[in-house]
Amino acid sequence: MKNLAAVAAGGAAGTYLRFVIGQSMWIGTYPLGTLVVNIAGSFLLGILTGSLLMKPGRTWLKAGLGAGFCGGFTTMSTFASDTVLLAAGEASLFLIYTAGSIFGGLAAALLGFLFSTLLTKKKGAV
């Protein structure tokens, strides 16, 4: 029950923050907010994976931050919808958005993971 409550609370916070950022960062028809939250969420999940999710510990905290907050903060459905709308319009915006979302998200997750493991190693060496 503790895990479920953590996922619900984290999801509510992540979804709220995504909505606020997404609504405030439109440039004409370009959904910059969705791109920003998906890349930022990928970076955060990379950090969480390296520092929390792969280690034993509080499962409710892992569930609340990972599946809850990051799951609510990032959005595949909005990415898909925005991609379809951009594809019907200007091809260059479609390509920039799609490549930025996919490769930017993957790169951000990797950088977040490497960053957290680097910090973890430094803390262990001190």
Half-sphere exposure of 91 (CA within 13 A, CB side): 0
Using an 8 Å Cβ cutoff, are 85 and 27 in contact?
Answer: no
> Six-digit token pair at 30?
């370009």
Q: Where are the alpha helices (DSSP H) in 2-31?
A: 2-24
Cα R_g (the chain), whole angstroms: 16
- Residue ranges of the annotated binding site for Na(+) are 71, 74
Amino acid 103: pLDDT: 97
Output the pTM of the full model. 0.85
78: tokens are 């909005």
Average pLDDT over residues 90-112: 94
* Binding-site residues: 71, 74
Q: Calculate helix-pair angle for 2-24, 32-48, nearest 10 degrees.
A: 150
Q: How far apart are CA 121 and CA 116, in angstroms?
A: 9
Query: Which pLDDT tens digit goes with each residue over 24-38?
Result: 898 888 889 999 999
Q: How crowded is residue 95: how many other Cβ atoms within 10 Å of its Cβ?
A: 12
| The pLDDT of residue 123 is above 80 | no
